[in-house]
Structure 1
């Protein structure tokens, strides 16, 4: 049982502020009158009703009451709240009741979490138009960046608003414009250089032809040294003629709209057999039944195969060269392997660049560095690819991969 609550001083005053009664009482003792508040023994004086003008001072304030001193919930004689019995100066005892404010019976109609959810939905509906506008602008910016990254340098982002997204769109448009201008200037310069090179090569054909014809009209010299010099001049003229032919072909391949010939179904088995016989290379056909054909320009594919075989013969040091035909799914693979020194891994991509030669290769093996560049251009023009690798036992392998047409199988 909890200890009795401490006594509190209680003062009753009338409307004029005059003290009309004073006493002490404990909170929570309302229903039962304290000993000092009961009438004297032998007196049967009925307890008068509390005066209508009585009030209480702040000595009975409720915030200072500890949990053990707080009256228990329930209704006293006059309702909920603490009650006091106070002995008046005239001998009467009055009962003071401090009513509690009524508890609110309101609660969320569907519970707290339902109400919280409804508030969240309302906030989401209110902010959706703003968020959607921002996300739509970000989506447009993302799509424009993707198109620009895919090579469409003319794409621009519409600028709407003066916020951070609008500022980002403005900066992107400015950067894209600068890059597009630089790329166009570079392309124009390269096109001008290629055109100049092609025109110069074309103009060289006429004097070269005249030199060749004049050399043929010269009678064979009786002197061995003079005869050797004439043969050397003829070989140099042939190399120069081949160089001019390769430069002109490279220029036409770079011009995407140039007419390079009729696209037809090319039989790779027959084409490679002819070129292998021309260069004394070994042909290994690993195709099961039917023919292996690809759509393309026959003379270009023949040039690509010939360049690979001649390149392998120059570097094979007299050893055998093998051309292998393989069908890999929907691709035809032309693989030319030699037994030469191979290609260092650091140069396996650069050797396909125009006029690039391995260190020392120009002096040792001749050539100008256009053969493999033409192979790559021809493969790309036919929707294929070319790559270089080294064999485990030594030597280099060049592989052209071209999309095939439907072929019959056994």
Structure 2
């Protein structure tokens, strides 16, 4: 594919520590989304409760992702928008603007962090429709705005009075972009990484939430790029490769594709120690593809028996569905391996990732919907991949019928789409989908 830059990541576990909740060395992390109330009812009727309630009553959970920042920069100079469903009823409008301050959430973030939870702010979601950023400078400017709004308090910033969470400081950013071509994600995420280093008081996290089909349509530029990603919350639901398509008696899985993400983690990701979370639904009402906690335990055992060391734990969408589902969270936690002892020494790891073949491709749908969106363009015949043949530029993707190729050190490496799927060119990227979704190139 392409040569990736050397990235040095120091985990200062004793003093600056990786967040108290998330453990990058563990296979036993449990992460849950909060903020969208997919349960769909008011709090008094069993719907989403305040964040602090769940932090207090769910000791099993290590990480909470607050969802969502639904708009980042819709037009030049426009500030981000947030949507926290019924929790937004406790926010107040900043005078003269359409932006919100949420003192209750701010209070709960601090409470949760004091309870040892990692708190991330999630960007995107199914309603985000900006498609990224028009150019790298705009992407970097957007990253700086988000940092000033959600990162450490900077009283000299002109945005200090627009912080949604006041003096509360999140522990990192989760990128949850779905079902659209995203532009300039690499400069955006790279700038966030650079800004993380300006605050030595904690180690900030950068996570991505792709769909389980690979390549992920929205985030592929980022997933194959030079940015250090700490974890991916892969959505193994609302898709044919989800946990509901796992075959317990099969040694090789025809649809469930955690092996593809293991291959990505070990051969393509800039961070060879990246953790891959298996994303599941918290109940039948959360989406398509719910399986009970006991079945999740079976899949976890399958993953561990195969020695797939990228496995970092389980992600759940979302807490408003999972909490009223009796014993679901506790049973998922009990299915995970015991957590290792808390590290007490400083560890530094250096990773150099070089070009390698791309994992097999699959097909994609949205988190809250099973609708598939496709975009088609025609690739020049001069770029059609021939196995072992010459190719123009490392990292280029191209389709050839029901296969796709990636240019690796001047030669095409070709991989077949799963049976029954065809390759579809989408701008500079490719993905595999059912025949009829678009015309093959």
Smaller-chain TM-score bracket: under 0.3
**Which structure has the bigger radius of gyration?**
1
Taking structure 2 as the reference length, what is the TM-score of the superposition?
0.18
Q: Which fold has the larger relative contact order, with Cα–Cα distance below 8 Å and residues 6 or more apart in sequence?
A: 2
TM-score, length basis structure 1: 0.19
